[in-house]
Amino acid sequence: MSGKGKRGFSLVEVMVVVSTISVVMAVTIPAMNTARSRARAIVCRSNLKQLVLANIGYSNDHDGYYVSAAEDLCNPIALLQGGMCRWHGKRTGPDEPFDPLKGPLVGYLADGKVKKCPESVEFSKSQDGMINFERGCGGYGYNMQYLGSRLWGNGITTFAAMIKAYAKTTNAVEVKRTAETLMFADTAFCNDYEGIQYLVEYSFAEPPHYVTNGITDTAFVSPSIHFRHYGLANVGWVDGHVEAKPMAKPVLRENYTAEMAKMNIGWFEPVDNTPFDLQ
């Protein structure tokens, strides 16, 4: 068959096709990335709900008391090593990650362990316990101040009382606002070690203020809520529901640094202890 009458694409036509494909890709790829991120956020919310339900199940089997966040954190034997027990696992040394299959919630979670948040977060992989001291929590933090301990209580005036406050927890009947009291949330910590900032796993969701002997301090502490889902953080509440919260406008005071804000670490509104406390 003769090739006469056949015509190839002109350079202009090729350039138009390439330009069209480029425009389609420019529109499609961000949309696909957003869709994937939303899917990861949904999985994350499911993980948090499982944690909340596991802790509720634990409390049902322990006379209403929630799991301890860090029962030996103030114990003189384990204190120098940062504690060996957490709500999410146990470890044998300060430079070891926490083993999730040895944690107190193991019998209440699918596969027996805390699932990792599916969002891609560049947590430090350092083996140094001084840098990466909470490895193994999956990127989730527990309301230690008000639920996973009794640090909010009165009478904590001695070291012995402090040890007991870490070891004993809040009872479910003491939570007056179950739909408004945080149990678990997306967390991380900006660890500054020898002048270098690291984003590390952190297993506690810190309220803006510590409570000392029943009195809420006015000074701000270092935040740990991590807004990793396009500026949102997933929060699991005591009543079992999970929702996404936007980060409050960063206000740099005391221990809240610009580096933390840049790493999407902060608090949601209201920036006080009411989303964490029991009343």
What tens digit of pLDDT does each residue of 41-82 get? 899 999 999 999 999 999 999 999 999 999 988 776 655 567
Residue 181, number of CB atoms within 10 A of its CB: 21
Which pLDDT score, from 0 to 100, does residue 77 have? 65
Q: Please identify which residue in the block is written with the tokens 């919630």.
A: 105
Token readout for 67 is 């799991």
Q: What does the alpha-carbon distance between residue 232 and residue 39 come to, in Å, rounded to a whole number? A: 14
Q: How many CB atoms lie within 10 A of CB 140?
A: 28
pLDDT value at residue 140: 96
Q: Number of H helices and number of E strands within the chain? A: 4, 12
The whole-number average pLDDT for the span 4-32 is 60
Give residue 115's pLDDT band: very low, low, confident or very high (50, 70, 90).
confident
Backbone angles phi, psi at 234, to 5 degrees: -85, 135
Q: How far apart are CA 163 and CA 140, in angstroms?
A: 24
User: Over the stretch 3-13, which tens digit does the pLDDT of each residue have?
Assistant: 555 566 666 66
Share of the chain above pLDDT 70, in %: 82
> Does 33 score more than 60 pLDDT?
no
Identity of the amino acid at 207: P
Asked if the model's pLDDT at residue 279 lies above 90, the reply is no
Q: Answer left, alpha or beta for residue 240, where phi above 0 means left and psi between -120 and 50 means alpha.
A: left
* Mean pLDDT over the full length of the chain: 85
Q: Which tens digit of pLDDT belongs to each residue from 231-267?
A: 999 999 999 999 999 999 876 665 666 678 888 999 9
Q: Which residues pair with 90 in a beta bridge?
A: 85, 99
Q: Report how far apart, in Å, the C-alpha atoms of 210 and of each of 51, 56, 162, 164, 273 are.
A: 24, 25, 14, 17, 9
Residue 221: per-residue pLDDT: 87
Q: Which pLDDT score, from 0 to 100, does residue 31 have?
A: 47
Amino acid at 154: N
pLDDT above 50 for 14: yes
Q: Give the pLDDT confidence score for residue 11 in this predicted structure.
A: 67
Question: What is the tens place of the pLDDT at every residue in 189-232?
Answer: 988 777 777 888 999 999 999 888 888 888 888 899 999 998 99
In the chain, the amino acid numbered 273 is N
- Collapsed DSSP state (helix, strand, coil) of residue 215: strand
Q: How many CA atoms within 13 Å lie on the side-chain side of 130?
A: 4
Mean pLDDT of 93-103: 86
Please, which residues bridge with residue 86 across strands? Answer: 89
- Residues 6+ away with beta carbon under 8 Å from 195: none
In the chain, domain spans: 12-266
